[in-house]
Structure 1
Amino acid sequence: MEQWYSLRWFTYDIIRSYEWVYPYFLYLLPFVPFLFWIRNAFHRRHKQRLVITYHSAKEGKDWLTLLRFVQPVCVGLGICLILVALARPQVVSERTDRFSEGIDIMLLIDISDSMLEKDLSPNRLEAAKLVARQFISGRLQDRIGIIIFAGEAVSLCPLTTDYELLYGFLDEIRPDMIPTAGTAIGSALAVAVNRMRETKGDSKVAILISDGDNTSGNLDPTTAAQLAKAFGVKVYTISVGNNIKKRVKSDTLSVPSALVDETELQNIAGLGDGKYFRATDNRTLGEVFQQINQIEKVKSRNVISRDVSDYYRVYLYWAVLFLLIAIGTKSTFMANILED
């Protein structure tokens, strides 16, 4: 803050920037000259007059005569500044801080052999990775982790807000990362619950992407879904692929392609207080993630903080200064000793 004796405190910009706590004191400022008129009216009859002949030594204004007005002007300015100080000028600056309550999201991606089917382009797994990447880029301040599973489940990336790190892990996902064959949905869900059970997030979400064909693992998917509900983890399930039975010719044999088991995923979503989605192509898979993105929005709250700075002391100091000048000049040649 500038020194109190700076003349900048009387500029228009500074005065305009103030908020006045008691503005009604400012309404008394026009009456200050009226006080001097009243004083003059009451003392007019009691004034002592001495008739003398006075000739100015100089033409024009006599500056010595004008100095007699210093004392009453200082008194008037002092009173005005006291009123300004009583009005309590303040500068109030408001700041709005937005606090976001992040969501803990665990992506569970099936990398079993059935995810290599090409009913999505270029295959189910690559389509899931692409849309998962788009989903991550649309989140804000959420902690996101990745779990991959086939015959067993592996925590690939813990919950983090480093989205670039997540992109790197997504790019590295390959079917051969887990040599154990099968699809352990229950185990994957159990790993996700274990990762999120001690987190402090207000909302915990597991997004399971699979063809729904649970063929391995030590934990039943139904039990894992009940466990997720107990720890407050909401489970969304997405089945990728379609249910149309296809047959792929291999030499002279006809081999049925991998089919999507919707029943298992629907049951998991129901038990996990989530929702089941079906994605039969790349476009619908993207729409599914957009729906989840809308459902699980980041909750935010605005906190307004007010920084209040009082400046009444500046004008009070000026008032004291003018009053001291008025007192100091009262018994000098600047005052009219005949009136006092």
Structure 2
Amino acid sequence: MNLFSYATLAGYEWQHPRLLLLLALVPLLPLLRWLLARRRRQVVVAFGPGGIRPDWRAGLRFLPTLVLSLSLALLVVAAARPQRPSEHLTQTGRGIDIVLAIDVSGSMEIEDLKPTRLEAAKRLAGRFVGGRAGDRLGLVAFAGQAYSLVPLTTDYDLLLSNLRSLRPGLIADEGTAIGTALGVAINRLRDSRAKSRVCVLLSDGESNAGSLDPQLAAQLAHAYGIRLYTIGLGEDGFVPYGRDSLTGKPRYVQTRLDETTMRQLAQAADGRFFRAADNAALKQVFGEIDRLEKSDIRTQRYRSVQDFYRSYLGWGLALWLLWLALKGTFMSNVLED
């Protein structure tokens, strides 16, 4: 490490940074010494007709002053105590493993949640992910089939990227395979050793596809110690869904959430059912789940400081001794000193 490079000096933290202001006075010392010398009574020395020829060695008389200035600058730097802190984080305890299972069927384009049911779910699920720390999260998307898009991971950027990519039509098979989605989530969670294993399932319809019965899937989740939170999205009845291509007026379609089944699934797996008919309710639901599922992770921060003033102090004292030695040589102007 180059002690005198700009990058090194700029990278320090200073215990007494105000002392560095004294560096501005160091260049003034040679000037002050020169002004005082001019005020002294000058000694006139007569030379022969030829005078004195210029000699480069005459400039060496400024070397002691330069050495003194460098010495003082280094001593000021040392007094300001340059340091490099380092922090270490240690985490103890266990996080939670959570799988988000999100419905991407065509009905998730309905606009009773703004801008659509799916977009609202993605946005608030993203905030939920951003609020977790130390937990492993996974992502399952389902329509007529279910697929694991992200395994359990602490790489939240990867999960958020896949979450943003969700769209209706991502899975070609039409329908809502809630049982299959729970089965895929259980496969991800069953071998987990986390203190708590959770599946959060978001859907806006009734299970009408897939080969695994939702009730059986909920019982499997309970058997593996997986808690299930189900969230029913949207309103029942006629709700806006796009616009008519000819008139431009909103179109309305009829939807129905099988709330009874969603509630039974949550109860079978020791969880809770939530109904989110609008954005505010969905935000409140995620906040409630975040409150219920807290990680038991304790973070300790250690801060250590490494001092570097000794190097600058050593160089400063060495130059000071060099200055004292030079004062006794021909380089010092004895007529001024």
TM-score (norm 2): 0.58
Pair 1:293 & 2:286 matched: no
- Displacement after TM superposition at 1:199 (Å): 1.4
Q: Which runs of 5+ in 2 are unaligned?
A: 1-87, 303-337
RMSD: 2.6
Query: AA paired with 1:273?
Result: D
Give deviations 1:103-135, integer Å, cap 9, x for gaps: 000000000011111000011011000000000
Pair 1:184 & 2:177 matched: yes
Confirm or deny: 8 A CA contact 1:192 1:206 kept in the other structure: yes
Change (3 A) 1:255 1:293: closer
Q: 1:108 aligns with which of 92, 101, 113?
A: 101
Confirm or deny: 8 A CA contact 1:109 1:148 kept in the other structure: yes
Q: 2:219 aligns with which of 226, 242, 250?
A: 226
Q: Secondary structure at the match of 1:257?
A: strand
Give deviations 1:267-312, integer Å, cap 9, x for gaps: 110101000001111111011000000000001358999xxxxxxx
Pair 1:204 & 2:197 matched: yes
Query: AA paired with 1:219?
Result: L
Give deviations 1:146-201, integer Å, cap 9, x for gaps: 00000000001100000011111011111121000000000000010011111111
- Displacement after TM superposition at 1:102 (Å): 0.6
| 1:82-231 map, 5 Å | 98-231=91-224
- Displacement after TM superposition at 1:245 (Å): 3.7
* Corresponding position of 1:325: none
- Displacement after TM superposition at 1:246 (Å): 4.3
Give deviations 1:4-36, integer Å, cap 9, x for gaps: xxxxxxxxxxxxxxxxxxxxxxxxxxxxxxxxx
Q: 2:256 aligns with which of 250, 255, 259?
A: 259
Confirm or deny: 8 A CA contact 1:212 1:265 kept in the other structure: no
Q: Which runs of 5+ in 1 are unaligned?
A: 1-94, 306-340
Say which one has the larger Rg: 1
Give deviations 1:191-228, integer Å, cap 9, x for gaps: 10011111111110000000141110001100000000
* Partner Cα separation in structure 1 for residue 292 and residue 213 of structure 2: 27
Query: AA paired with 1:205?
Result: V
Number of aligned positions between the proteins? 210
Confirm or deny: 8 A CA contact 1:144 1:160 kept in the other structure: yes
Confirm or deny: 8 A CA contact 2:112 2:240 kept in the other structure: no
* Partner Cα separation in structure 1 for residue 142 and residue 165 of structure 2: 14
| 1:17-28 map, 5 Å | none
Q: Secondary structure at the match of 1:151?
A: coil
Confirm or deny: 8 A CA contact 1:212 1:264 kept in the other structure: no
